[in-house]
Amino acid sequence: MSDPKRYWQPEAETASRDQITAWQSERLVSTVKRVYQNVAPYRDRMDAAGVRPEDIKSVDDIRKLPFTTKQDLRDFYPFGLFAVPMEQIARLHASSGTTGKQIVVGYTQNDLDIWGDIVARQLTAIGLSPRDKVHISYGFGLFTGGLGIFEGARRMGATIIPVSSGNTERQITILQDFEPACIACTPSYAMYIAETMEKMGVDAKKLPLRCGVFGAEPWTEEMRRQIEQKLDIKAYDIYGLTEIMGPGVAYECECQAGMHVNEDHFIIEVLDTETGLPVKDGEKGEIVFSCITKEAFPILRYRTKDIGAVTHEKCACGRTFVRMSKPMGRTDDMLIIRGVNVFPSQIETVLLKTGHSPNYQIEVDRVNNLDTIAVRVEMNEATFSDTVSEISQRERALAEAIKSLIGVAVKVILVSPGSIERSTGKAKRVIDHRKLH
């Protein structure tokens, strides 16, 4: 495990804790100065909180800074939190917000290079080299999955196969004929590929595929075992979110024992959800990230709403970055359906806009390893009908309207008025049968 080729940037990945703290302090101080100068909403927030840039002298002062939330990204949509002029922005990415409006982030060329480095750290850690081919089945587009892994594979010098998502049989032909060593996609899609291979009579053991990089949605250790066994590969976890960078904010090494946070670029805090105070190593809390090297979109103290824990314990791989657990749930109601963020409020918005009843329930399941989403909606005076053909036509129209907003196909079932159970407290809008945590 001391093979130097296993590190992409050994000076960072194996830096001493003192060195990491020194980098974090220096980079936080300069980022705070920069956003205070260049980004009006940060300046206003800090002024309102009575914090001056000079008050931030080291990483220990981070708690003086106000939080940033997804709501802020919506309020300053599209470019209000960018810290450089548009001519320096090399790329935009976006992710869904709660009401259909995307949240938008930007990267300078330097940001993209750093993104490439942090993803290359993982590809190298799991034994890949420029001689290998990397098959990317994450979607290419505004979603960060496809192009994020692309940046890493390119930086490392691997041969990239940018397949993007969909057409599973074609994916399998490519896995057979182009012979990639690694596949990157959501874990549920990896399972689906494995099952499709079984159906097609393709023997995964005969493929040269050695490993996979899977993330963008929650998955369990049980799923990891199944993917590893069915595809005859090693399956590694990768974590990220659009607001911070995309995939690669944290990455699993060959030890498969938690994800190393790229602490030279991001500061992680784990905060008690009630008190907002830091929790101890190993204890659960809300994960909060600050970007300390990003030029275009240096978000500070971003509340991810992911619940997780970190450990400072030494990892057998020799890396010194802290490791975070798999996310163990969320503090909000965001669902991740086939890698896409979906908020129940988005569906509610469509119901109301199209004259449907606001009495609804969303049922999420995983069938043959693909997430399914069904929306039961009560009929009201406007949408009531007793002819089957009219009902199914309305169901199809509503399903189409929901799909065009959230980007995921849903099944709509119109049910008779009053048939959805009423609650005396908070309505139970979502039933999730997937057991992912």
Per CB under 5 A, 121 contacts Zn ion: no
Distance CA 199, CA 214 (A): 22
Per CB under 5 A, 311 contacts Zn ion: no
> 423: how many CB neighbours lie within 10 A of its CB?
9
Residue 183 tokens, joined: 């596949």
CB of 316 to Zn ion, least distance (A): 7
Interaction partner, residue 95 (Zn ion, ligand ADP, none; CB < 5-8 Å by kind): ligand ADP
Residue 370 tokens, joined: 């693909």
Residue from the set 211, 315, 377, 398 that interacts with Zn ion by CB under 5 A = 315
**Alpha carbons within 13 A on the beta-carbon side of 6:** 14
Q: Exposed, middle or buried by CB within 10 Å (0-12, 13-18, 19+), for 424? A: exposed
User: Peptide bond preceding 327: is omega within 30 degrees of 0, i.e. cis?
Assistant: no
Per CB under 5 A, 317 contacts Zn ion: yes
Residue from the set 92, 160, 255, 427 that interacts with Zn ion by CB under 5 A = 255
Tell me the β-bridge partners of 106. 92
CB of 255 to Zn ion, least distance (A): 5
260: left (phi over 0), alpha (psi -120 to 50) or beta: beta
Per CB under 6 A, 351 contacts ligand ADP: no
Residue from the set 97, 146, 247, 285 that interacts with ligand ADP by CB under 6 A = 247
Buried-exposed string 384-398: b where 16+ CB fall within 10 A, e elsewhere: eeeeeeebeebbeeb
- CA neighbor of 308 nearest in space, from 292, 327, 291: 327
Q: How many residues bind Zn ion (CB under 5 A)?
A: 5
Residue from the set 122, 137, 242, 262 that interacts with ligand ADP by CB under 6 A = 242
For the residues of 68-126, what is the DSSP string, one character each? B-HHHHHHTTTTTT-SS-GGG--EEEEEE-TTSPEEEEEE-HHHHHHHHHHHHHHHHHT
Interaction partner, residue 143 (Zn ion, ligand ADP, none; CB < 5-8 Å by kind): ligand ADP
Among 193-201, 236-244, 392-400, 403-411, the segment contacting ligand ADP (CB under 6 A): 236-244
The letter for the amino acid at 346 is Q
**Binding track, positions 262-301, relative to Zn ion; x by CB under 5 A:** ----------------------------------------
Per CB under 6 A, 95 contacts ligand ADP: yes
Interaction partner, residue 317 (ligand ADP, Zn ion, none; CB < 5-8 Å by kind): Zn ion
Angle made by CA atoms 343, 344, 345, in degrees to the nearest 5: 90
Interaction with ligand ADP in 306-335: which residues (CB under 6 A)? 306, 326-327
Distance CA 237, CA 239 (A): 7
Per CB under 6 A, 343 contacts ligand ADP: no
Interaction partner, residue 216 (ligand ADP, Zn ion, none; CB < 5-8 Å by kind): ligand ADP
* 246 versus 258: smaller Cβ distance to ligand ADP: 246
Per CB under 5 A, 374 contacts Zn ion: no
Per CB under 5 A, 161 contacts Zn ion: no
Interaction partner, residue 247 (Zn ion, ligand ADP, none; CB < 5-8 Å by kind): ligand ADP
- CA neighbor of 105 nearest in space, from 67, 76, 65: 76
Contact partners, residue 89, CB within 8 Å, separation at least 6? 82, 106, 107, 108, 296
* 285 versus 339: smaller Cβ distance to ligand ADP: 339
Alpha helices in 129-209 (DSSP H): 144-156, 168-177, 187-200
* 104 versus 350: smaller Cβ distance to ligand ADP: 104
Among 4-12, 116-124, 174-182, 235-243, the segment contacting ligand ADP (CB under 6 A): 235-243
Tell me which residues touch ligand ADP (CB under 6 A). 95, 143-145, 215-218, 237-242, 246-247, 304, 306, 326-327, 336, 339, 341
Interacting residues toward Zn ion by CB under 5 A = 253, 255, 315, 317, 319
